[in-house]
Amino acid sequence: MPAHQYYYQTPGHNIAAGVVLSSMVLIVVGARFWTRLWYRQGIKADDLLIIPATVGSPSAIPATRLVGRDRVLTVATGILIVYGTARHAIAHRTEIPAEHAKNPLAVHSDQLTLTSKIEYPISVMLPVILGCTKLSFLLFYKRIFAARSRGAVNMVLVGFMVLIGLWTVAFFFATVFYCKTNFFAIWGSALDLMTFCTKGMLRSLALCISDFITDVFIIVFPIPLIYRLELSPKKKAATAGIFLLGAVTVATSLARMITTIRIVKAGFDPNEDEVFVITTWVYWGMVECSTGILAACLPTLSFFTRSVVFERPWDTLASAFGTRPRSSPARDDGLSERIREEDTLPYKAGRGGAVQAHSKPRPSHDTTEEAYEMANGRPV
């Protein structure tokens, strides 16, 4: 009986995901850097970590090389999936030659070789992409909430960043050498994988479970800190909402974990379609990486959306009718700085170094500056 084909194993969904998510990642990351440069804030460490995540994610940056029939192609992860789908190596049923009909696990064909050559580099890059995205979140939190270098919040964040760094390195090398040095088995038959890559499925399961747990921590962590700020309930809810939109990443991480558990439970079942199994892995990996990058850019883009979509068109219209001069917060010849000097910050350092608020002249410390900017809807 042919294996059931789920929606995420169909050609249309894989091509659409590869094209749409690739485009969204490029646009959003580009908008993030544009916002930084336009408002002359400088590029921060959390911005820089998005770059390697984007390089390895479904975007238009070369990720690996595919060798086949004397041709060498340098393509991005998203393009790999689209290319594999077009070549029937992704999102198509496994073509089983007649001589292997009784033992599908022994099949070693051009189709499965290409499928494995697409899966392997994506699998290797997954922990790097996810790790860089998580570190980008944590560095952003450190910049916003850790007002004191010796505070509890800062110590927790630094400790968790070290943990994520070790997690990334460990799973990167575990994936590279999951068949030890028997690399031929990676694009061999399922029997080769069963013989030389005995820990491959357990590694994938451990990656997904630990990835989900760390995602939950990262998304939930800032919420209690936000509600300790002495801001209006409306501002608290709006700021918390920006971070909670990142829960989409947790949802995709959960979906990938559930599908991986199903794959591991099935094992090397001859009734399962090998191409469909690999398609499931790369599809959900691509979706999670993309949503993670989008979520990491949300705090910056929340201001970008208000500024470009609402304020800038109004400025243009007002200028046309002579109601007010057009100006930019970053290009006002020092006006913003003068306003900042006269402004006050409802601020104090709470327990553990978290930023809180009360009436006090605005300090010049970078962390408190950025906490103020975020609380008042400005790019951080």
Q: Give the integer Cα–Cα distance in Å for 316 and 31.
A: 20
Q: Give the integer Cα–Cα distance in Å for 277 and 281.
A: 7
Q: Is the pLDDT of residue 376 over 70?
A: no
pLDDT (0 to 100) of residue 348? 37
**In 3D, which of 300, 297, 123, 117 has the Cα closest to residue 207?**
123
Where does the pLDDT of residue 362 fall: very low under 50, low under 70, confident under 90, or very high at 90 and above? very low
Span of 13-27, 140-154, 250-264, 318-332 with lowest mean pLDDT: 318-332
Span of 29-38, 210-219, 232-241, 305-314 with lowest mean pLDDT: 305-314
Terminal-to-terminal C-alpha distance of the chain: 56
Where does the pLDDT of residue 305 fall: very low under 50, low under 70, confident under 90, or very high at 90 and above? low
- Section 193-215 average pLDDT: 93
The residue type found at 117 is K
**In 3D, which of 324, 363, 333, 331 has the Cα closest to residue 346?**
363
Q: Give the integer Cα–Cα distance in Å for 104 and 194.
A: 13
pLDDT (0 to 100) of residue 227? 80
pLDDT (0 to 100) of residue 304? 56
Report CA-CA distances (Å) from 69 to 66, 72, 73, 111, 126: 10, 9, 11, 13, 27
Q: Is the pLDDT of residue 331 over 60?
A: no
- Section 353-366 average pLDDT: 41
Q: Is the pTM of this model over 0.85?
A: no
Where does the pLDDT of residue 252 fall: very low under 50, low under 70, confident under 90, or very high at 90 and above? very high
- Section 319-344 average pLDDT: 38
Per-chain mean pLDDT for the chain: 77
pLDDT (0 to 100) of residue 132? 93
